[in-house]
Amino acid sequence: MRTIDLTPLHRSFIGFDHLSSLMDAAQRNSEKQPSYPPYNIEALDNDRYQITMAVAGFSDAELSIESENNTLVVKGEKLSKDEKTERTFIHQGIAERNFERKFQLGDHVRILSAELDNGLLLIDLQREVPEALKPRKIAISSGNLLKN
């Protein structure tokens, strides 16, 4: 396995401040990471993001979204077999297994909304930096400070 130095990318991360450490961790644990359900992460604007997950076969009652300590957890739990009607499949290509997918969020990223539309779960995120942490302009005075 080869290692990749991500140091030059540290300067250009927006929103996901811990992205490099997450990528390193993902690279080390790639065998342990689940691949279901597939998802996209899209930057809509400088401070707006959207996660799109393909959750075909899940209703909104079977999905849950939780956020705690900069971690977004999306869970899908299908009804137990005794609660569903028994069906006989000739071919079953749509996965109906339970899942839990975790996303590490950047500092000051909050979840705006979540919507289930045509088998896609859309989660809108926005980075909101507090005023105290935003850059501010410092005035430079032009007077003589050293007068005798």
DSSP state of 22: H
Q: Is residue 80 part of a domain?
A: yes
Whole-number pLDDT of residue 50: 92
Whole-number pLDDT of residue 21: 58
* Residue 117: strand, helix, or coil: strand
Domain, as residue range, for 110: 36-130
User: Domain tally for the chain?
Assistant: 1
CB burial readout 68-87, b (16+ within 10 A) else e: eeeebebebebeeeeeeeee
CATH of the domain at 94: 2.60.40.790
Q: Mean pLDDT in each 10-residue stretch from start to end of the chain (148 residues)?
A: 59 52 56 75 88 90 90 86 70 83 85 92 87 76 66
